[in-house]
Amino acid sequence: MHIDESQIQSEGIFQGIVENLQDGIIIVQDQKLAYCNPSVSGLTGYSMDDLLNGEVGFLSPQSIELLVSRYQDRVEGRPVPQIYEIEILQKGGGAIPVELNLSKVSYHGRPAVLGIARDISKRKAFEEELLNSEQRFRALIENVPVAIWVTAKNGKTVYISPNVEQIYGYTVQEILAGGDTFWFDRLFPDDRDKVIQAFGELFSANVPFNIEYRIQRKDGAWIWLYDRAKIVMEKGPEAFAYGVFSDITEQKQMVQQFQQAEKMQAIGQLAGGVAHDFNNQLAGILGYADLLRDGAKDNPELSHYADNIIMAVKRAADLTSQLLAFSRKGKYLSITVDMHQTILEVVSILRHSIDKRITIEQELAASPSTTIGDPSQLQSAILNCAINARDAMPDGGVLGFFTKVVTLDEEFCKKIPYEIPSGEYLQISIEDSGIGMDEGTVRHIFEPFFTTKERGKGTGMGLASTYGTIRNHRGAIHVTTTPGKGTTFN
């Protein structure tokens, strides 16, 4: 057979290219390795002679099993991929992943299989790092106490992180299936317009979306959210809002409580000063009224007038004593008081004066049940709360008294707006199933002369004096309420 010089030169060029490729080139013929380039030696660590003499096996058992299985599929006419990922065993004992591209060729005039093996260990390491990074990022998103969201211009939520359910109550599936107005429909009425306006300006003018608002949870409760977002362009001209919101209800409540405590302290100082000055004026009026009554013993009409003045002065004195109790400037005893006995006395009073449709429940579990204080003031404080509960149930209901010993740690004491040390406390809870109170009423409930009752049916000093009494006994008082469901004083 005649082979001309150009053919020899062409084959030489081809061999030079193949032997300098970074990819490994192998040719298998009659189930034996008929050819491999130096890169295969580099991949495996074995010499060319060892590889071509068939003295070493450089395929892992799993890779051999895969290749045999794919070969059988091809023989039986089933479609098989051309590219495989297999492991090549190295002389030093390690293994590296390679991408193997197989094709049928003719080698020296006989059928053979050409394999191109590419080292993909760096790519695999990168993919693994990317996967680990994605898993870390996903774990971060799903465990931070905020919700991350993506929304289209029309308000449709296209992504929200799973922990939204902890904050909002709704699942991811419920939110994504809720439509364009799902979020806006649950905004607090007073906040709705400002949120919609801010959301619109985010898309129309790229004004930063940075806003606090109230929204209704799935369970009906209203919570405060701090929400911020920015615009991100995706899919050409389409814009999406990427945002994150957090529940700031507790912070809002703490701020309100501290502001309320400061206001109550200022009101208390004012009330205390007024009460002292008023008491001094009443002392003068009472003295002259006594003299008038003594000098009018022979004049029944004047004596009657004097008695009325003295009665009015005493009622005014009761009012100033409540003001002094509120301002924590009144006189009080400091003896051991059994609060269970005090509550039983209050219950006894109530059973003879409240609507028979109101059921009284008791669960007095505190042990010990004693504290140091003024029994008369403490009884008045509990009675005032109970009367408030009674008035909240015009159609009847349940009035409950509960006690237990609680331990307040330093972290809790720092969060509440009262300066009380950590330790064990006797907690008294007075619950009712009445009409409850709105947020505006709760903010003023302990202020002097604040009342929601009709004119002439209340002085607005009952709960104010209760507040002063509890604070005077180095305690704290807190009210939780839901309109239509009831109120609890703790």
Q: Note the pLDDT tens digit of each residue in 212-268.
A: 888 888 888 888 888 888 887 765 667 888 888 888 888 877 776 666 665 556 555
311-318 mean pLDDT: 71
Closest by CA position to 426, among listed 388, 372, 386: 372
Give a yes or no: residue 213 inside a domain.
yes
User: Where do the DSSP E strands lie in 40-141?
Assistant: 83-89, 95-107, 110-119
pLDDT at 329 over 60: no
| 207 or 143, which is more confident | 207
Q: Is 192 helix (H, G, I), strand (E, B) or coil?
A: helix
Give a yes or no: residue 2 inside a domain.
no
Q: CB of 296 within 8 A of CB of 302?
A: yes
Please tell me the predicted confidence (pLDDT) of residue 411: 78
- Structural domain boundaries enclosing 45: 16-123
pLDDT at 87 over 70: yes
Find the distance separating the first CA and the last CA of the chain, reported in whole Å. Answer: 109
Q: Which among 266, 292, 326 is the end of a domain?
A: 326
Please tell me the predicted confidence (pLDDT) of residue 5: 46
Q: What is the CATH number of the domain that holds 457?
A: 3.30.565.10
Tokens standing for residue 432? 């009712």
Closest by CA position to 252, among listed 214, 304, 208, 197: 214
Give a yes or no: residue 4 inside a domain.
no
Q: Which among 247, 276, 300 is the end of a domain?
A: 247
Residues 434 and 305 in one domain: no
Residues 361 and 408 in one domain: yes
Q: What is the CATH number of the domain that holds 237?
A: 3.30.450.20
Give a yes or no: residue 157 inside a domain.
yes
Give a yes or no: residue 8 inside a domain.
no
Give a yes or no: residue 211 inside a domain.
yes
Give a yes or no: residue 128 inside a domain.
no
Q: Which among 123, 148, 168 is the end of a domain?
A: 123
Burial call 250-279: b when 16+ CB within 10 Å, e when fewer: eeeeeeebeebbeebeebbeebbeebeebe
Residues 287 and 226 in one domain: no
pLDDT at 330 over 80: no
| Number of compact structural domains in the chain | 4
pLDDT at 44 over 60: yes
Residues 340 and 471 in one domain: yes
> Cα–Cα distance between 23 and 39 in angstroms, integer?
6
Residues 267 and 239 in one domain: no
Residues 361 and 262 in one domain: no
pLDDT 10s digits, 344-390: 888 887 887 788 888 889 999 988 888 888 887 888 788 888 888 88
Residues 418 and 359 in one domain: yes
Residues 456 and 387 in one domain: yes
Give a yes or no: residue 3 inside a domain.
no
238-247, 266-275, 409-418: which range is least confident on average?
A: 266-275
* Max CA pair span of the chain: 162
Phi, psi at residue 79, to the nearest 5°?
-70, 135
Residues 319 and 342 in one domain: no
Helix or strand (DSSP H, E) at 481? strand 479-482
Record the pTM.
0.44
Q: How far is CA 8 from CA 4, 16, 17, 417, 429, in A?
A: 7, 12, 14, 96, 103
Residues 462 and 340 in one domain: yes
Q: CB of 437 within 8 A of CB of 483?
A: yes
What is the band of 274 on the pLDDT scale with cuts at 50, 70, 90?
Answer: low
Residues 142 and 268 in one domain: no
169-178, 245-254, 318-327: which range is least confident on average?
A: 318-327
Cis peptide before 375 (omega within 30 of 0): no
Residues 451 and 344 in one domain: yes
